[in-house]
Amino acid sequence: MQDETAAHVRDTVDAIYRSDSRRVLATLIRLLGDFDLAEEALHDAFATAVELWTEKGIPVSPRAWLISTGRFKAIDRLRKSARFETADVSALERLEVTETPDLEEDDVEDDRLRLIFTCCHPTLSPDAQIALTLREVCGLTTEEVAHAFLTPPPTLAQRIVRAKSKIRDARIPYEIPSRSDLPARLDSVLHVIYLVFNEGYLASSGASLTRADLSGEAIRLGRLLVELMPEPEAMGLLALMLLHESRRSSRATPAGEMILLEDQDRSQWDRAQIEEGVDLVERALASHRFGPYTLQAAIAAVHAEASNARATDWPQIVGLYDVLLRTDPSPVIELNRAAAIAMRDGPESGLALIDAILVRGDLTDYHLAHAARGDLCRRIGRTVEAIAAYERALELATQEPERRFIGRRLDELRLTSPR
Amino acid sequence: MKYLCLIYDNEKEFETMPRDRVEKMMGEYRAFGDGIKKSGHYVGGAQLHPTHTATIVRSRNGKVSTTDGPFAETKEQLGGYYLIEAKDLNDAIQVAARIPSAKSGSIEVRPLVEANA
């Protein structure tokens, strides 16, 4: 047995905590059948590791050691509390009769999927799915999640407690969904990851660094999902996030002012992320089982491959929007398609489509519909209409950088307006 | 004649109730349960987990959707039930009025449709 210095052991334990604590937790939840008990067991196991490994050396398989130690610690806890309360006795009996389980690599990886699918179970509220996923799968603290979503920590803690109690009391099973349930259940997981990413992506302004970290967490989650379950739409979503993320540094001035896609400095785009994103899109498309995330990623990939806005393959983008509209019809996608049509066929064609959407009443309160209309009017010199559209957009916009951008456009237009 | 007594009460209040009051209430429920067993009214009954553990299931055109809910925004939530055998509605009301939660919340008494013998 090797003589380990305390500092070396502590560093090793820290490193294993960072790389493996979520795996250990995922397996402990399966073995113990309870989130809270598994979390306590996880912390007990790591605390014991610091003590025992200094004395006896680091075990050959630290992860297996942590899992079985966590399980024994949990049994200890249940025994102690069973002396005072009767409620835990059945859990204890169940645990005591099951042998120490084999910890095959496949089981451990499956446990991570079980954890993801359980946290994103559709019978939990969307807010709870997000909070639980960030807490349990990503290992963020309750305070970090609360901060990122601008929610008071007690509210968020309550949300997590309730989600866990629903999992326990209503018996949400800890399992990977069956093949027939998989498409719907996977949608729910992808949606959670997408919402986390958007929360980080849209809040690009000012002092909210942690919100940019959210995009990073979403990408890590997306990677994990692709690694565990390489479904085309999982690849499509990861690609979509990478392709958007590649533009992060060029989307705003250092002062936090918004820069439109056509005005961005494309040399700043992250080539490695683009390459990875494009490769994933191609793999997802080749499967012929792709959906809306892959199509949106394909659109982002066309933008990423163009050296400037004019050189963009607009006919291809319009074609992709056509397919997207058929698989996932929505007025917002129609609006985006109209903007692509304007680039392909000229502003008048795009404007006619946007007016048709607005007349239908679908997006009358959506600021970007009015901003897009304002932009096209501006391009064809219909200044008065452009001003009116931007004014309406300003009334509806809530994000500060967007409001400032629309304000600047309005100032420019009022200068040229023949009033 | 069978009646279902649905117990509606403020679950938030129950969750934050001090331990001694919870125990007092549990004692009252035990006494009530023993009472209606002795009187022959009792058929069945149970306490429910709080509404945040609930799931709404809908099947439309063969597609099943599940969501969380109901939302506990109304003041009183369904927290449990008794199924009782009573002579008539008056008898059922007599029983329902003695359910401990009748003092803080409300009890909905619904007659069961009897299957034709």
The CATH number for A343's domain is 1.25.40.10
B68 touches chain A (CB under 8 A): yes
In percent, how much of chain B has pLDDT > 90?
62
Q: Is residue A85 included in any domain, yes or no?
A: yes
Q: Is residue A356 included in any domain, yes or no?
A: yes
What would the pLDDT profile of A388-417 be if each residue is shown by its tens digit?
999 999 999 887 888 899 999 999 999 987
Query: Per DSSP, what are the bridge partners of residue B81?
Result: B6, B46
Q: Cβ distance B85 to B24 under 8 Å?
A: no
Helices (H), A258-330: 271-286, 292-305, 314-327
Quick one: pLDDT band at residue B66, thresholds 50, 70, 90? confident
| pLDDT tops 80 at residue B49 | yes
Triad A393, A398, A404: Cα angle to 5°: 70
Give the whole-angstrom CA distance, residue B77 versus residue A372.
47
Contact across the interface for B53 and A170, Cβ inside 8 Å: yes
pTM over 0.90: no
On whether ipTM exceeds 0.90, the answer is no
Contacts of A404 (CB under 8 A, 6+ apart): A257, A258
Q: Cβ distance A260 to A224 under 8 Å?
A: no
Q: Which of A 108-137 lie inside 8 A of B, CB atoms?
A: 122-125, 128
Q: How far is B68 from chain A (nearest CA, A)?
A: 5
Average pLDDT of each block of 10 consecutive residues along chain A (419 residues)? 73 94 95 94 96 92 94 91 64 67 74 95 91 93 85 93 91 90 91 89 52 86 94 97 93 84 92 97 95 96 92 95 92 95 96 95 92 95 95 90 91 81
Q: Given this model, what pLDDT does residue A98 score?
A: 65
Among candidates B49, B52, B67 on the partner chain, residue whose Cβ is nearest the Cβ of A122: B67
Mutate to test the interface with A, among B68, B71, B73, B77 (most CBs of A within 10 A): B68
The total number of residues shown for chain A amounts to: 419
Say which residue the tokens 């649905």 belong to.
Answer: B6
Q: Given this model, what pLDDT does residue B97 score?
A: 95
Boundary (domain end) residue, out of A39, A74, A103: A103
Residue A3: C-alpha distances to residues A10, B20, B71 (Å): 14, 55, 58
Give the whole-angstrom CA distance, residue A407 versus residue A412.
9
A147 touches chain B (CB under 8 A): no
Give the whole-angstrom CA distance, residue A403 versus residue A395.
9
Number of domains chain A is built from: 2
Longest dimension (CA), chain A: 88
Q: Is residue A291 included in any domain, yes or no?
A: no
Q: Given this model, what pLDDT does residue A209 score?
A: 43
Q: Is residue A235 included in any domain, yes or no?
A: no
B55 touches chain A (CB under 8 A): yes
User: For residue A371, what is the enclosing H or E element?
Assistant: helix A367-379
Architecture of domain B2-111: 2-Layer Sandwich (3.30)
User: Residue A374 sits in which domain range?
Assistant: 316-419
B12 touches chain A (CB under 8 A): no
A379 touches chain B (CB under 8 A): no
Q: Given this model, what pLDDT does residue A210 score?
A: 53
Q: Is residue A122 included in any domain, yes or no?
A: no
Give the whole-angstrom CA distance, residue B50 versus residue B29.
18
Q: Is residue A366 included in any domain, yes or no?
A: yes
Per CB-CB distance under 8 Å, the chain A contacts of B50 are 165
Angle, in degrees to the nearest 10, between helices A367-379 and A383-396 = 160
Among candidates B53, B55, B68 on the partner chain, residue whose Cβ is nearest the Cβ of A165: B53
Is the link from the previous residue into A230 a cis peptide, with omega within 30 of 0? no
Boundary (domain end) residue, out of A48, A70, A103: A103
Question: Number of A:B CB contacts under 8 A?
Answer: 24
Q: Given this model, what pLDDT does residue B41 score?
A: 96
Q: Is residue A162 included in any domain, yes or no?
A: no
Give the whole-angstrom CA distance, residue B9 versus residue B16.
13
Q: Is residue A279 included in any domain, yes or no?
A: no
Per CB-CB distance under 8 Å, the chain A contacts of B65 are 122
Contact across the interface for B68 and A165, Cβ inside 8 Å: no
C-beta atoms surrounding A205 within 10 Å: 17
Residue A383 CB-density burial (10 A; 0-12 exposed, 13-18 middle, 19+ buried): middle
User: For residue A412, what is the enclosing H or E element?
Assistant: helix A400-416
